[in-house]
Amino acid sequence: MAIRTKRRTAGRFSGESIIIEAAWLYHHDGLNQNEIAKQLQVSRATVVNYLQEAKERGYIRISLSPEIFNNHKLAQELRQKFNLQAAFVLPHGIGSDEEALMRVARGAAKWLPSLLKRGDRLGVAWGRTIYEVAEALEKIDIEGVTVSQLVGSMATPYGFTAEICSAHMAQNLGAKCINLHAPAVLSNPDLAAHLRNEPIIHAQLEALSHCNKAIFAAGSCEPDSHIVSCGLASIDDLEWYIKQGAKGVLCGRFIDEQGKPIIGNLDKRIIGVTLDRLQGLDIGLLVSQGVEKVTPMLAAIAGGYVTHIVTSDKTAQLMLDANN
Amino acid sequence: MAIRTKRRTAGRFSGESIIIEAAWLYHHDGLNQNEIAKQLQVSRATVVNYLQEAKERGYIRISLSPEIFNNHKLAQELRQKFNLQAAFVLPHGIGSDEEALMRVARGAAKWLPSLLKRGDRLGVAWGRTIYEVAEALEKIDIEGVTVSQLVGSMATPYGFTAEICSAHMAQNLGAKCINLHAPAVLSNPDLAAHLRNEPIIHAQLEALSHCNKAIFAAGSCEPDSHIVSCGLASIDDLEWYIKQGAKGVLCGRFIDEQGKPIIGNLDKRIIGVTLDRLQGLDIGLLVSQGVEKVTPMLAAIAGGYVTHIVTSDKTAQLMLDANN
DNA sequence: ACTATATGCTGACAATTGTCAAAAAATATG
DNA sequence: CATATTTTTTGACAATTGTCAGCATATAGT
């Protein structure tokens, strides 16, 4: 009785499994299934079976270029875990945190225009990151966009102010710019209250409270935090807020783990948007990067201020690893 | 005038190039082009374009499992470089040369049946490798196959002889076996000549000269070569042939670099096939493996005796690297 | 501002690939 | 040695994917 191999062997060219031969001809030599069927003397349907088996056996690996797609994967995971509309994860790269920040800022700048459409009113916060986004923006022109400065101005040792952030952004977006002609923080609550009632300031605050989109960064509550080094808060202020459970800073306001604003002495002296105005926007774009920003970012997300996010892969991974 | 990015940006989910998003959805999430088109708000034709660009840009890598396909690739290269009908390259593996020889022999045994069809007359040479092939053959039954012993018998220290090689092979193939009832080498040319004219031997030699397929190994010309250790040739014989340019041994005959037989004292005393009979066969299956076999194998191929080859990846690579 | 050129997008059609039930072949079983 | 069971192959059809000419939009040049 003739005993033969069940499955046909290729024989013709390679002696190896006909499955490997089919996979080779298809993926390496680029033949189509008909040509392969003819060459291997089987039906085309059989070639389909062989190719599927080659896939199942793992002979063929379709890998998505990791450095490109890993970040995309992280973005999807961020999107899912935090219920965001969209996320953009950039490679941290091998360089310093400084370089990563620049890359994230450039990424946000590249993305921002496609998130805006005519008639939008964009609120712009202030900080190093936002400044770099504004600088990195290529000059484009979307009709009828208005940019609003979300917090008052501040003299900084860095040479950039809230005014410059929003002005540059408006300039590069070809947008109208509404600045907030007031200091970010005053020494005295009463003065702040009076200033808020000044007609010009009142109008500006009114305008920014009608923004439908906003771009901001998360600030950390660590002692070397920006909010202290720029002079907005004193070390004592910071310690007080931390004692109250502050986990981050958003537009000059301290927030707790759930993203709820912590109202304290400082808040009464600040001229700027209140956080309730930043909830439920069409787009709340959080641009931040770095280990120390993870907790603040999570808090901001928990508070419902964020619909879109731009960050680095490293930061994204830390956010995903955080067990909450 | 509104200046926008030329290509639509995905915006919706990832901010990254829409091309990456399309590639991701297609290859990772397994969506089809219609679903992707709907999701990205473009036509399906555009999705096709995106996917093609992703391929061109190298975002998607389809790699063929190297451990599987490398040998297939080597086989193809052998086939091409040496103008062979087919090649079968087996992994040398991490073990000893002994193990590799066994693997190659088993590979040849697995392949051989698919190379035979009814009515074939298969010439079988002799040697360690061929013996292992005969042993490894699974018992099958191809009608009307005849196996011929290509060279006379020889007492060997290994306990296998040309007779056993061909007999086992015939047995496992369910084939008729024509043995050569004579010693492989005689001490005296005249005696050999007389023996060749003996009717029974003459008939057997006549039979084997009508083989249409043959299986053989290549022997090396090194001092520890099998042809010496088995007693077919003396060291003096070997040295004489090497001086004449011998590069290998095929069926007991010395060949030069071009595969041409070198006729010497020994040839007149041998009972066995002459090499001219091994040229132009339907199939000449060379089964050999090992560094020291590279030169003999190349010589055998140059002589036109080989249409099919079974070897190890290591050996195949050396053959391909040889600059001729 | 207007036209020229390039680039990207689309719809309609062509080609390729996937599915599935049934036939054929191989193997197991009574 | 006939029959049952499993595996492999196949043909016909369905779904998916690829192509290409023409259209729309963007950029460049004057």
Answer yes or no: is B2 within a domain. Answer: no
A304: left (phi over 0), alpha (psi -120 to 50) or beta: left
Position A122 scores a pLDDT of 94
Question: What single DSSP character describes residue A182?
Answer: S
Answer yes or no: is B175 within a domain. Answer: yes
B12 CB near a chain A CB, below 8 Å?
yes
CB pairs under 8 A between A and B: 152
Residues A78 and A192 in one domain: yes
CA closest to A118 among chain B residues:
B2
Query: pLDDT averaged over consecutive 10-residue blocks of chain A (324 residues)?
Result: 44 67 86 90 90 86 76 89 92 84 89 84 92 85 85 73 87 87 87 90 87 95 87 91 95 96 93 93 95 97 96 95 80
Answer with the residue of higher pLDDT: A95 or B267.
B267
Predicted confidence (pLDDT) at residue B106 exceeds the cutoff of 60: yes
- Give the number of domains in chain B: 2
Query: Which secondary-structure segment (H or E) carries A295?
Result: helix A294-302
CA closest to B8 among chain A residues:
A114
Residues B19 and B108 in one domain: no
A6 CB near a chain B CB, below 8 Å?
no
- Tell whether the torsion through CA atoms of A201, A203, A205 and A211 is positive or negative: negative
For residues B225-243, one letter each, b for 16 or more C-beta atoms within 10 angstroms of the residue's C-beta and e for the rest, the string is bbbbebebbeeebbebbee
Mean pLDDT of B61-80: 82
Q: Which residues of B touch A68 (CB under 8 A)?
A: 20, 59
d(CA A233, CA A239): 10
Residues B28 and B97 in one domain: no
d(CA A19, CA B63): 16
Residues A20 and A103 in one domain: no
Cβ contacts, strand D, under 7 angstroms: A 6-8, 18, 42-46, 49-50; B 1-6, 26, 32-34, 44-45, 48, 51-52
Contact B62 A59 (CB under 8 A): no
Q: Please name the residues in contact with B298: beta carbons below 8 A apart, sequence gap of 6 or more.
A: B247, B257, B319, B322, B324
Position B45 scores a pLDDT of 92
Q: Which of residues 57-116 of A touch B (CB under 8 A)?
A: 58-65, 68-69, 71-73, 75-76, 79, 85-88, 107, 110-111, 113-115
Residues A37 and A78 in one domain: no
Nucleotide at minimal C1' distance from the B5 CA: D26
Position B3 scores a pLDDT of 34
Residues A225 and A176 in one domain: yes
Backbone phi and psi for residue A285, each to the nearest 5 degrees, phi listed first:
-95, 110
B28 CB near a chain A CB, below 8 Å?
yes
Backbone phi and psi for residue B19, each to the nearest 5 degrees, phi listed first:
-65, -45
Position B231 scores a pLDDT of 81
Answer yes or no: is B1 within a domain. Answer: no
Q: Calculate the average pLDDT of chain B.
A: 86
d(CA B194, CA B207): 18
**CATH number of the domain that residue B16 is part of:** 1.10.10.10
Residue A141 CA and nucleotide C4 C1' are separated, in Å, by 24
Tokens representing B1 are: 């005038």
Answer yes or no: is A154 within a domain. Answer: yes
Answer yes or no: is A3 within a domain. Answer: no
Residues B26 and B95 in one domain: no
Answer yes or no: is A182 within a domain. Answer: yes
Residues B254 and B127 in one domain: yes
Question: What single DSSP character describes residue B185?
Answer: B
Residues B73 and B18 in one domain: no
d(CA A227, CA A237): 10
Question: What single DSSP character describes residue A278?
Answer: G
Question: What single DSSP character describes residue B292?
Answer: G
Contact B75 A141 (CB under 8 A): no
Query: How many residues are there in chain B?
Result: 324
The number of C-alpha atoms within 13 Å of B263 and in the hemisphere containing its C-beta is 5
Mean pLDDT of B254-283: 93
The alpha-carbon gap from A205 to the nearest alpha carbon of chain B, in Å, equals 29
**CATH number of the domain that residue A250 is part of:** 3.40.50.1360
For residues A51-81, one letter each, b for 16 or more C-beta atoms within 10 angstroms of the residue's C-beta and e for the rest, the string is beebeeeebbeeebeeebbbbbbbbbbbbee
Position B315 scores a pLDDT of 95
Nucleotide at minimal C1' distance from the B43 CA: C10
Q: Which domain holds residue A43?
A: 10-56
Residues B90 and B223 in one domain: yes
Residues A26 and A152 in one domain: no
Answer yes or no: is B3 within a domain. Answer: no
- Answer whether 0.75 is exceeded by the pTM: no
Residues B291 and B165 in one domain: yes
Residue B219 CA and nucleotide C17 C1' are separated, in Å, by 49
